[in-house]
Amino acid sequence: MAVRPIIIAPDKRLKLACEAVEGVNARVRALMDDMLESMYASNGIGLAAPQLGVLARVIVLDVARADDESQPLRLANPEIRWASDEFTDGDEGCLSLPEHYAPVIRPDRVRVAYFDYENRACEIEAVGLLARCVQHEMDHLDGILFVDHLSALKRNVILRKLTKTKKLAAEAAD
């Protein structure tokens, strides 16, 4: 396992649609392990493969509280099979948009089909934070960031700040 660098927005690699994986083989398992390690290293609760520059439909999640035992989830080719009619509003952040948070409205519950670490077909019904997190990560697989759910005005404020931060970091590195 290895911690890999997480791509920071704005970056066109975060705006691309990802390809389904052809089964969870050793290569996909290694990717899932690296994704989890990279996510934990940044104290995240979810990560999608494109955030590491890999355009594959793979996401990892762990919404356990810091003082509880970890509950890692590794999902390949996730698909939403059902979503509740009830929606909730909750603050979201993203490891690719560090230090920015904004409320996003999403279905409160979803049922998701996917392939697990052993390439078994599985389904989970997610509620609350897990439901929000899995929808956020699945958005990444279609090149959608949480700021894309906000007004253009709010989105541009955040993206401009990120651009500025990147520029300053690049200048400092020179």
Tokens of 143: 């090149």
By CB under 5 A, the residues from 3 to 42 that bind Ni ion are: none
- In the chain, DSSP assigns E strands to 46-48, 58-61, 73-83, 87-92, 102-107, 109-115, 121-127
Interface residue with Ni ion, options 6, 59, 94, 126 (CB under 5 A): 94
Asked if 60 and 33 touch (Cβ cutoff 8 Å), the reply is no
Nearest by Cα to 52 from 95, 93, 98, 17: 95
Give the shortest CB-94-to-Ni ion separation in angstroms: 3
Give the shortest CB-51-to-Ni ion separation in angstroms: 7
Residue 94 or 158 having the CB closest to Ni ion: 94
129: number of Cβ within 10 Å: 14
- 137 classed as catalytic: yes
Residue 23 or 101 having the CB closest to Ni ion: 101
Binding mask 44-83 for Ni ion (x = CB under 5 A): ----------------------------------------
Residue 25 or 165 having the CB closest to Ni ion: 165
CA dihedral sign of residues 132, 122, 3, 56: negative
Catalytic pick from 19, 22, 137, 171? 137
- CA angle in degrees (0–180, nearest 5) for 89-12-72: 50
User: Total binding residues for Ni ion by CB under 5 A?
Assistant: 1
Give the shortest CB-120-to-Ni ion separation in angstroms: 26
Active site members: 137
- Interface ranges with Ni ion (CB under 5 A): 94
